Amino acid sequence: MLLPTKKNASLAMLLMLAATAFIAGTTLFAKALGEDGLHPALHPLQISHGRFVFAFLTIVTATVVMRPTFVRPNWALHVARTVFGWGGVTLMFASVAYIPLADATAIVFLNPVFGMILAIPLLREKVGPIRWLAAAIALAGAVILLRPTPDSFQIASLLALAAAIIMGFEVIFIKKLAGRETPFQVLLINNCLGVVIASAAVIGVWQMPTPAQWGVLISLGVCMALAQTCFINAMARADASFVAPFTYGTLLFATVYDVAFYGQFPDWITMTGGSIILSGGVLLAWREGKVLPRG
């Protein structure tokens, strides 16, 4: 988890692609836990609880080994960031139990767009025509993925859309934290607070997981910790404007996992909507010039 000082664009690209594979893997594990395949299905609140608990334990282990230096944290920003992050993750995990991973992942990737829009009133940022164009393109793709016809509309898609909106608020607080504290400290505090929030929320729905479910919950948490580690190290090895577009590799891996584990081949709506969101997202990422760790 140590951040390097030397730039290496090729390695940064590989690390970011690894991060996207791990992120898509978390949705795959969440889908398995939220369906009846590992009977009985776990509540989304319990799935997100496992994600935070085991990611936190993984990062704590690294902290004990590495003994990094910490500065005084801004607790108000951390709490706000974590509340919205936890809410977005929980809604996303709820959505993937009912719709294809590729659809849910593509819709949730609208969060930078909502973050951009929210930054206008909340951070007083000015948005130029290119960023508005990117947002319009991505939102058009989302409308296609929502399948807004009586015969094909899926309510679960709204869960993914809500997750994207809530994560858009998280983007605001991540921007406020940027430069104040080290990425390692931000991730450690985020996962620590996430454990507290998720533990309080899960009390009413918690049930004893089966041995197989325990294994998947552990894999989910470790997978997220690895994703975050790869992400921050990729960002440290190259300019954010170069690395940012590769974050959308998550859509590719989610599609591959859909096919490999569920036999769900993307239909033309998924291909069209996902491609449009990808185009808008890459344009926005290029224009923004920076991407910050979340989750």
Domain that holds residue 147: 9-288
Confidence of residue 292 (pLDDT cuts 50, 70, 90): very low
What single string gives the DSSP state of each residue in 212-278? HHHHHHHHHHHHHHHHHHHHHHHHHHS-HHHHGGGGGHHHHHHHHHHHHHH-----HHHHHHHHHHH
Q: Is residue 94 domain-resident?
A: yes
Could you read off the pLDDT of 136-185 as tens digits, one per residue?
888 888 888 877 666 556 788 899 999 999 998 988 888 888 778 887 88
CA–CA gap between residue 86 and residue 256 (Å, rounded)? 26
* Mean pLDDT, rounded, for 248-261: 88
Task: Report pLDDT digits (tens) over 16-25.
Answer: 899 999 999 9
Q: Is a pLDDT exceeding 80 seen at residue 257?
A: yes
Q: Which two tokens stand for residue 228?
A: 């975050």
Give a yes or no: residue 273 inside a domain.
yes
The confidence band for 291, taking pLDDT boundaries of 50, 70 and 90, is very low
CA–CA distances in Å: residue 140 to residues 137, 146, 192, 252, 286: 5, 10, 37, 19, 19
Query: In this predicted structure, what is the pLDDT of residue 111?
Result: 84
- CA 113, 148, 41 angle in degrees (round to 5)? 80
Average pLDDT over residues 211-228: 95
Q: What dihedral do alpha carbons 129, 132, 136, 137 form, nearest 10°? A: 70
Choice between 207 and 288, residue whose per-residue pLDDT is larger: 207
Say yes or no to pLDDT of 295 above 60. Answer: no
pLDDT at residue 197 above 60? yes
Q: How many CA atoms lie within 13 A of 40 on its CB side?
A: 7
Instruction: With respect to residue 185, please indicate whether it lies within any of the assigned structural domains.
Output: yes
pLDDT, one tens digit per residue, over 102-133 is: 888 888 888 878 888 888 888 888 878 887 88
Q: What are phi and psi of 60, to 5 degrees?
A: -60, -40
Structural domain contains residue 1: no
Please, which pLDDT band fits residue 1 given cuts at 50, 70 and 90? Answer: low
At position 246, the amino acid (one-letter code) is F
Residue 96 lies in a domain: yes
DSSP 127: -
Rounded to whole angstroms, what are the CA distances from 295 to 118, 210, 211, 215? Answer: 18, 26, 26, 21
> Among candidates 74, 55, 99, which has minimal Cα distance to 228?
55
Report if residue 125 sits inside a domain. Answer: yes
Domain contains 4: no
Q: How many domains does the chain have?
A: 1
